[in-house]
Chains A and B, each alone.
Chain A
Amino acid sequence: MIFNKLSRRFLVIVTGLASMFSMSAAHAEYALNMTESVTPIGQQLYGLHMLVLWICVVIGVVVFGAMAWSIIYHRKSKGAVAANFHESTTVEIVWTVVPLLILIGIAIPATGTLLDLEDAKTDADITLQVTGIQWKWKYTYVDEDVSFISSLAQSSRDVVSDPTGNENYLLEVDEPVVLPINKKIRFLFHSSDVIHAWWVPELAVKQDSVPGFINDSWATIEKPGIYRGQCAELCGKDHGFMPIVVNAVTEAEYEQWLVSKKEEAAAAAASAEQEWSMKDLLARGETVYQANCSACHGPTGAGIPGAFPAMTGSPVVLGDPAGHIDVVVNGKAGTAMAAFKGQLNDVDIAAVVTYERNALGNSVGDMVQPSAIKNAR
């Protein structure tokens, strides 16, 4: 009776699941297997993955097949009488040697692929330094004097409570990294705080970024397109919210993009020269605060007790502006407080310092101009 009821309920669940499967099969982006790559090495990895997978499937069929056979035919209820053999050196040798041969069959292509993956042989055309920062990425084109921060896009931050229908939710950034196709790109990974890992499945690049040390990796992108990835090493609270977007374009478009980035930097430097009003600083400061500081110090400045200090009533914020600027610009060694000098320009830092001093429940009343920040770099 009970069993019947249970099995009926089971049927309901199974059909429910089946309908979910068929529903989702309608979605095109629904993936079961490893992402196919747009780099030659990535395609090699995919081939190796499929090879090992199929070897496992074949071994599985043999082993589970033998098991199923004895479960079906060698059962007591069918009158099977137990044999008494319990040793055979020949058999033992066979099933030690055969797997060994299979492993050699896997190891040979794997070794070749690994050597290709660690290819330092040919010169890279472009060197990109990637710095992991809690919880964003900094990209520096070391030959071009172009450098910027890339963090989770506001369009994703706005919908965390209900992201339904938000395409590329958590995989969108404010400032994608732009790379030319058909060029050998050398990535140099570095971290300014904890260990992160830069991973873009379609580029087949996943490498840890370690504080104090550099790691490298290579990729040649063969197809223009937008490739998305995420941090792959637990790096604290917002580990799940530091995506990577690579925009692979033609060389001409890449050159054009470099020029526009340099112009942008020049314009920002010019705006730092002028005096800013309190109103403008506060307005800009709020945006900067919410994008860069609120993850730890809280949207209202309350912090997380025991983990991250509050802004409201903080002695640093209420104290001398120079000390406050020093902490924001240079960070605080031995804590999670990052140095923002490499992340924000003079105007942004001046704005956010002013904002912290005069909002979030604080009212010091003074104002910090971009020139003060320039002096502190």
Chain B
Amino acid sequence: MAGAAARVLIVEDTPTQAEVARALLRDLGHEIRVAETGTAAVEQTLAWQPDAILMDIELPDFSGFEAMRRLRAAGIETAIIVVTAHGSVNHAVEAMREGAVDFIVKPYAKTRLTVTLQNALEKRALATELREVKAQLTRDRFMGFIGGSPAMQAVYRTIESVAASRANVFITGESGTGKELAAEAVHRASPRRAGPFIALNCGAIPRDLLESEIFGHVKGAFSGATDNRLGAAKLADGGTLFLDEIGELPLDMQVKLLRFVQTGSYQPVGASKPEKGDVRFVSATNRDPWAEVEAGRFREDLYYRLYVVPVEMPPLRARGADVALVARHFLAAFAKEEGKRFRAFAREAEAALASYPWPGNVRQLQNVIRNIVVLHDGERVEVAMLPPMLLRTASGRAPLPAAPPPPPMPVAPPMPVAVVTRLEPQAWPEPEEEAPPPPMAPMPRLPEPAPEPALPWVPPPRIEDFQPLAEVEKRYILAALDQVGQDVPRAASVLRINPSTIYRKLQAWRAEDGAG
């Protein structure tokens, strides 16, 4: 700032004085304005936000000291240099007490004025820089994230750095670490923030519908295509396309996506000519993307196109004190939502939360806290209210005493029905202090680090009791879906199959029912 052009407000009711100051500063290239009264000085400062003010004390309406008091009260931190004809110690002391950075007596030589002003601007620039750096190093909230750990600070810095560019971003990290939130943050911090943010979960879409979901289709493109349908590529035009679980994309779709990434053009299913789209790509996976390339499941050329700026989301166990911070946030949010009195955690409960490895990361912590809030009440969360799995230490020692009855396993919130999420520009309020974070994709595996107990021995059924495998499979999948609130990815996780398998089977069963 001190070297660059600055905004300087001269507060001076005598035009000759103002003109002299303006002429003496002209060489420095600063933008200069003049206010002739205290009122005008306050108004112009609030509206124009100058970097420095040369403040005369004797003003027609009220003194320069009063103007300084009003500016400080309004939170203005401009560098103020008091300029007066009275070179008394009292004036100097009062000026400094009111927050002036320096004091200069009229008439002044050019060198005296310019050096005083440059020093003040430099001091202010350093103070501003220091405050920004401190704020960046200590911030514990960022674009919906909660956490002040060094690992999260690194994530915030990367997101901020990359947001302004058009570079594609590749987010990696375990399930539940907030990959979609990171993608949204990239979008919200970017110049495309006014455009759409379209999230597409590649792992949750049946293989044969993927092309249509991404690129859209025209009426009659295939049986059932009764209308033109816009794909995510079109919906994200001018904004950001988030491809979650990109590793699930079949190789033939990877070729089509590569063309879109390279050329910006794509062809809706059944269309006769290609369309153009201006999209920034943010991709995510919980796998090692390079290992996928080496295993031949992910195209190397697509990898290089998408893996331009990597963002690695740290697991919760690597985020130290963030566990308590996030837990308190969820506790406040869920207590409010459920009308409970919870305000804090007992020290032992917080220690148990801190020592648990959180294999399901933030999402698991969120579920645990909701579970506690739903099942219990009180001012504090006691250690006895925690689920038993948290009461085992990482070293595998015996669990701490738990309160009866043991709470059930935390239940993941149901996944949004649509796999394509459109975030309208106006739907971007800053996250409120106590608001729960935006919904995340469901947890793909249940958190239970303890070894599973051996299954009890069950005698084999008699031969006449056997049923067709397809029927057993159907009943079993439908039962799993019932148990998890029709949450397909979660049911798939429980059954240890791919979500697309369930989608495919549901489609087939619906077709059978329709035919029947």
| Bound together | no
Residues of A within 8 A of B (CB): none
